[in-house]
Amino acid sequence: MSSKKLAIGVLSSHGGTNLQTIIDSCKSGQIDAEVRVVICNNSKATAMERARREGIPCFHLSSKTHIKPDDLDVAITSTLVDHGVELVALAGYMKKLGHRTLDRYRRRVLNVHPALLPKFGGQGMYGLRVHQAVLDAGETVSGVSIHIVDEKYDHGPVVSQLEVPILEDDAPESLAERVLAQEHILYSETIKDIASGKIDLDELSQMD
C-alpha cells in the first residue's frame, strides 16, 4: 500500500453524519485517507459546521452562488481539483452532478443509497420515501448500497452492499434509523478498501 493518503472530497446537503463518520475514520487511522474539502449546496447545512470544526476547507456552491448550472459545474470541479481530490464521496448530497465533474472524476464518485439497489432507486427516491417504498413492497430486508455515480440517478455499478432486516413493526422512521447506522459502517469500510487497493473501481466499472 502506498504511504500517500487517499485525498477525499465530500459533497453534502444536510446533517453530514456520514461525513463525520468518514472524517473520524480517517483521523483514527481506520482509513488511509484524508478529507481535503467539503462542498455543500446548502449554506446552513450542519455538514458545513462539521467541516469547520475539523479545520477542513468548506464551500457553499449552489444555484445561489452560481445561477447558471454550467458555471456551478465548473466551480465544483475546480474546487475539487484545486484541493487535490482523488475520490469524491456524496454524503446526502441532493443534487445531480454536472458532466464536467463526472467526466473529471469518472469512476471516482461514490454515493450511498439507503436501499438495496437496483430496487428502490431513481429520481425522487430519497429519505423516508425510499423506506416507505420498501415497506409498501412487503420486503423482508432492506439495506445500504454504495455505488459509483454516473449520469443517471442511483444507476452506476454497485461497489458494496449490506442488508438490514425489516422488523414486523417497522415504520419508515425506524427503518431509516437502523439503515443510517449501517450506512456509517459500510461507507467507511468501502472507502478503506478503495484506499488500500482491495476494491478496484476501474475493474468494477468494466464488469458492469
| CA–CA gap between residue 88 and residue 162 (Å, rounded) | 21
Cβ atoms 110, 77 nearer than 8 A = no
- The residue whose grid cell reads 468501502 is 190
Contact 159, 199 (CB under 8 A): yes
Please list, in sequence order, all residues whose beta carbon lies within 8 angstroms of the beta carbon of residue 151, skipping any fewer than 6 positions away.
99, 102
Annotation says 113 is catalytic? yes
Is residue 163 within 8 A of residue 133, CB to CB? The reply is no
- Nearest 5°: the CA angle 165, 198, 181 is 30
Catalytic residue (choose from 14, 113, 131, 184): 113
Q: What's the CA gap between 181 and 183, in Å, rounded?
A: 5
Q: Number of C-alpha atoms within 13 angstroms, CB side, residue 135?
A: 16
What DSSP character marks residue 98? P
Q: Which residue numbers are catalytic?
A: 113
